[in-house]
Chain A
Amino acid sequence: MQRRSGRSDGVRKVASGHSGVGVSQVPVAEGKSVQQTVELLARRLEALGADKQGTFGVDCETYHTAAALGTQGQTGKLMYVMHNSEYPLSCFALFENGPCLVADANFDTLMVKLKGFFQNAKANKIESRGTRYQYCDFLVKLGTVTMGPSARGISVEVEYCPCVIANDCWNLLMEFMQSFMGSHAPGIPSVFSTKHDSAYSPGDTMVQYMELFNKIRKQQQVPVAGIR
């Protein structure tokens, strides 16, 4: 993983190569809670021979461009500030369909200073936390997506570490995901189609999480308990 100095020297792009990752959402099994479905997936992974390797977390805060900024066309544009425990010294700032910037972790303090221009929509904070698994050269992160107090969904991130070109290993990644997710394995993520032959970067993973979080936010809240 990339190492970063504590000194802030502005926003920069991550240059180091990274491996192909697919992030997808798994629907909650019928008649089951989010937690039960996560446990079911964990059992399938362990049956496959995957080993537990600690925990992970990805969080995402939403910022509105403040009205004070003025320009009509810009209103309503959202910025997402995200963190990933795999890159503890980095902070990711993303616009929908827009650029993804990778900054030092103290980017958060900068955002506080910019609160005249960007307002934090605190209620929209969403995160995914769970367990990391290793199977051969695959890294699987099985997470529960929560918004406020309620569990809203399940995220599965699969990384094939030896491969730096996401498009090269997509078929292989799909076959692996199907082996424990069955028919819920995802279609090809949009970041893959735009990447062509360039190397995958951590920002591409964050874009996939952002898209997944947006999808979950728009969904009706899952009735976790008292379904019958």
Chain B
Amino acid sequence: MADGALNPGVNLEAFAQAIAAIQALRSSVTRVFDCLKDGMRNKETLEGREKGFVAAFQESLHSVSRDLGELERLSNLVGKPSENHPLHNSGLLSLDPVQDKTPLYSQLLQAYKWSNKLQYHAGLASGLLNQQSLKRSANQMGVSAKRRPKAQPTTLVLPPQYVDDVISRIDRMFPEMSIQLSRPNGTSAMLLVTLGKVLKVIVVMRSLFIDRTIVKGYNENVYTEDGKLDIWSKSNYQVFQKVTDHATTALLHYQLPQMPDVVVRSFMTWLRSYIKLFQAPCQRCGKFLQDGLPPTWRDFRTLEAFHDTCRQ
């Protein structure tokens, strides 16, 4: 490669020398530390030992400063890389003659395209999410990261008594829904919600935030062999696996960090609409079954029943 064609601003020879200078600098720095590590060598007298050590240390420091000076001189000779290429220095990868073996350049372009697209879509998503009234981070989206309010930590340390009160108030709100609260793992609460004779839901809380939820059938076992709530295994029935997926989506939808009790209440209100899981026909196609499943989706605002594929 002719360096002129490559990039008129870069002096390849100086470049090679600069690399050698870096190597020299590194080895002289290593010598400094070696010298410090070895300490005072054995000499006849204490004075002799000190003198020898100081001399050796001084010399190695000198060589560091000399190598550093040389590197600085060379770096001026190397010159500034051209700013013409849109990818700056990474554009030089395109000149690699062994494309087949190291397809770095095409991969780089691909990654660049993806990250551009990602940024674009994230922007659109942020715009859409900002229109929602209940969302995970009310003031964060679209605002610069520096101004992010630190609302979450305060709500994470709510006293357990407060959590108990909120849950028992919700429990009293819905007669067909019973909520059992337990704290098997310290302060975090776990709820077992039983909805009529339709389904059971295990809700794992972190303070008043819902971390995880699993929906199972009314006749399914929700405990592990040692009598604890089984928060890992999924339902044996396809219909409840689907409802579990939707409930997880609902957790992401109902979010308002400053008012976690409103979030839990909204989620439970939404969950309660599954009392008619097997009785409500789809509000779009009017049928009970689609691919063997009843309408498993409930609209977040109207609570109407839809098949997964029939919702907008």
Contact = CB atoms under 8 A, between A and B. Distances in A.
B289 A176 contact: yes
A137 interface: yes
Contacts of B279: 168-169, 171-172
A160 interface: yes
A171 B198 contact: no
A197 B197 contact: yes
Contacts of A163: 198, 278
Interface string B139-179: 00000000000000000000000000000000000000000
A66 interface: no
Given A137-B292, A172-B294, A164 B287 contact: no
Given A18-B219, A162-B240, A163-B278, A175 B287 contact: yes
A16 B219 CA distance: 8
Nearest to B216: A162
Interface in A12-57: 16-19, 49
B109 to A, nearest CB: 44
B287 A137 contact: no
B218 A17 contact: yes
B278 A135 contact: no
Size bracket of the A interface = 20 to 34
13 contacts: A17-B197, A136-B238, A136-B293, A137-B292, A160-B278, A162-B237, A162-B278, A168-B198, A171-B288, A172-B278, A175-B288, A176-B289, A199-B197
A65 to B, nearest CB: 37
Nearest to B218: A164
Contacts of A87: none
Lowest 3 CB-CB distances: which A-B pairs, in order? A136-B292, A169-B278, A162-B237
B47 interface: no
A137 B294 CA distance: 10
Nearest to A165: B197
B281 interface: yes
Contact of B237 (A18, A161, A169, A176): A161
Contacts of A168: 197-198, 278-279
Nearest to B196: A165
Given A137-B237, A168-B278, A171-B279, A162 B288 contact: no
A19 B218 CA distance: 10
Interface in B273-294: 278-279, 281, 287-289, 291-294
B217 interface: yes
Interface in B222-269: 237-240
Contacts of A16: 219
Among A138, A163, A164, A175, residue most surrounded by chain B Cβ atoms (within 10 Å) = A163
Nearest to A50: B292
Contacts of A135: 292
Contacts of A17: 197, 218-219
Interface in A137-173: 137-138, 160-165, 168-169, 171-172
